[in-house]
Amino acid sequence: MEIIRTVAWMKEYARAARAEGLVLGLVPTMGALHDGHTALVARAKKECSRVIASVFVNPKQFGPKEDYNKYPRDIEKDAEKLGAAGVDALFAPEATDIYPDGFRTYVNVEGISERLEGRSRPGHFRGVSTVVLKLFEIVQPHFAYFGRKDAQQVRIISEMVRDFNLDTEIVVCPVVREPDGLALSSRNAYLSGEERAAATVLARALVAAKDELAAGMRDVLQLQDVLRRVIEAETLASLDYAEIVSADTFEPVVRVSRACYAVLAVFVGKTRLIDNLYIEPKAQGADEFTFRL
């Protein structure tokens, strides 16, 4: 596996690979890799002849009071995992190369970026969409792989790709979970033993909502009550938000009648975790749904 440390080198590497007719897949990460990330790499390996993973803890997507400085970093361990997973090139640039002096150009996917995660984390999605556009310009991948755990992020990036006429296809991959349901996240490393046990509350809340949906509940206020009651019963957890939103706009809906997400953000101790349930009509306009946790 080649380890590429500069933007100029990455551009040249990607240009040469495209010129050879290879199909380029990009797996953008912030490092601290877990099996969710390696699942993205495995999917990319199936569909692409050249797989590039990026590891870049993007300062622009952290708020001033967030965990940018303490976000877990271990580039050697990440490189080992990516090499073992069959990645061809690891792109690990410096922040000063991605954001040189005087940097001042940003992507804003308006509306959706201000909701939910965007409301709790002002500026977060401006940082995400900007760095993802830059990665796409540097690598020009045919495919880019994202996990559905960050459902709103995936929706924002897909909208950006459409609106900006980009040639990269976004591939959305399933959430990877621990056996007890906890969605894999680099931030799970912050949890104490007790908090780790409590953290299953997100998946438990989503399963409870899924069960009620399967039993016929469609009213969003009722469903949100189901989510909240599970969270509130867990003493180490405190709710940031629990909503049922349109899968297209991430705006609230009143009744589940089309593709939706149940989305959760919960503090477990001081660690903020997110998770979601995808709710999809079995057929267009149908009142029966399939669920993806």
Q: Which residues bind its own copies (CB under 8 A)?
A: 7, 11, 100, 102-112, 129, 133-134, 137-138, 159-160, 162-167
Q: Which is nearer to its own copies, 121 or 126 (CB)?
A: 126
Q: Which is nearer to its own copies, 86 or 122 (CB)?
A: 122
Instruction: Collect contacts of 106-112 with beta carbons under 8 A, ≥24 apart.
Output: 106/60, 106/130, 107/133, 107/160, 107/164, 109/156, 109/159, 109/160, 109/163, 111/249, 112/152, 112/155, 112/156, 112/159, 112/249, 112/250
Q: Which is nearer to its own copies, 41 or 160 (CB)?
A: 160
Cα–Cα distance list, 94 to 4, 59, 100 (Å) = 11, 11, 10
37 is known as an active-site residue: yes
**Residue 69 C-beta: closest distance to its own copies, Å:** 24
**Residue 155 C-beta: closest distance to its own copies, Å:** 11
Distance CA 266, CA 148 (A): 17
**Residue 118 C-beta: closest distance to its own copies, Å:** 13
Q: Which residue has the tokens 């490092």?
A: 31
Among the options 34, 37, 124, 142, which is catalytic?
37
Q: Give the bridge partners for 27, in sequence order.
A: 53
Q: Which is nearer to its own copies, 85 or 157 (CB)?
A: 157
**Residue 46 C-beta: closest distance to its own copies, Å:** 25
Active-site residue set: 37
